[in-house]
Copies of this chain bind each other. A is one copy, B any other.
Amino acid sequence: MQAESSFKVACSNCNLRELCLPIGLSTDEMKQLDGMVATRKKVKQGGHLYSSGDPFTTLYAIRTGFFKTCVVSEDGREQVTGFQMAGEIMGLDGIVSDKHNCHAIALEDAEVCVMPFNHVEDLSREIPMLQRHVHKIMSREIVRENGVMMLLANMRAEERLAAFLLNLLQRLHARGYSKSELILRMTREEIGSYLGMKLETVSRTFSKFSEDGIIEVKQKNIRILDHEKLKTIFNSSTC
């Protein structure tokens, strides 16, 4: 186990590298990158990868599992700021103040690659393509959050949930999963927090979609029956 783990800490033969890393690296550069991941770390379901206020030293790339990130306001309200899956990078929020700004909690047993940020920066200075890649990852997160702002400020419950499902489906599809089926790793309450609505409203909206023949809901298992209709709900909603 230990042996296997240390053997495999190498980006060059990781099957997620096209998600985590820039494409088109030379063999030499790839070899350099293998040093970027210091170790791996397992997190049990419900466990914290990091907590708000923890000192920031490393970024994490998800190998397996599913996470949520959430911020907690002074008066204790929790806001889920995102859900993360394999190949995605966590911890960027910590760079600005050398402290993590949110909690990262595993929604299922997970394993992450630990990438000391100093090391990422050192390598970035040597490999311009990596530098650009890091910038893109951060920019992508900014753009994603712009989209969430639009969703929270402008959309109605049905649109939000449609957008949420379509986004999950698209990301899962990019990882080889079906476009018409998914398993929710989070509770209705967590979905609601992310989408700015109460768990009851999430549940009701699922039921509504189900009655309308758009999806089939069996607890956490969702089957998409009418992908187009879902898109229509997401877009066509000026009213």
Contact = CB atoms under 8 A, between A and B. Distances in A.
Interface of A: 71, 73-77, 79, 81, 92-97, 101-102, 121, 124-126, 128, 131-132, 134-143, 145-150, 152-154, 193-196, 235-238
Given A96-B142, A154-B196, 19 more contacts: A71-B150, A75-B237, A76-B238, A81-B146, A92-B139, A93-B139, A93-B142, A95-B135, A95-B139, A96-B137, A101-B143, A121-B131, A124-B131, A125-B131, A141-B142, A142-B142, A145-B149, A149-B149, A152-B152
A94 to B, nearest CB: 7
Contacts of A125: 124-126, 128, 131
B152 A153 contact: yes
How many protomers of this protein does the assembly include? Answer: 2
A179 B193 CA distance: 33
26 contacts: A73-B154, A73-B235, A75-B237, A75-B238, A77-B154, A79-B154, A81-B149, A92-B142, A93-B139, A93-B142, A93-B143, A96-B139, A96-B143, A101-B143, A101-B146, A102-B146, A124-B131, A125-B125, A125-B126, A125-B128, A138-B142, A141-B142, A149-B149, A152-B152, A152-B196, A153-B194
Q: Is the interface of A mostly helix, strand, loop or mixed?
A: helix
A193 B79 contact: no
A238 B121 CA distance: 41
B138 A75 contact: no
A132 to B, nearest CB: 7
B150 A77 contact: yes
Contacts of A95: 135-136, 138-139
A146 B235 contact: no
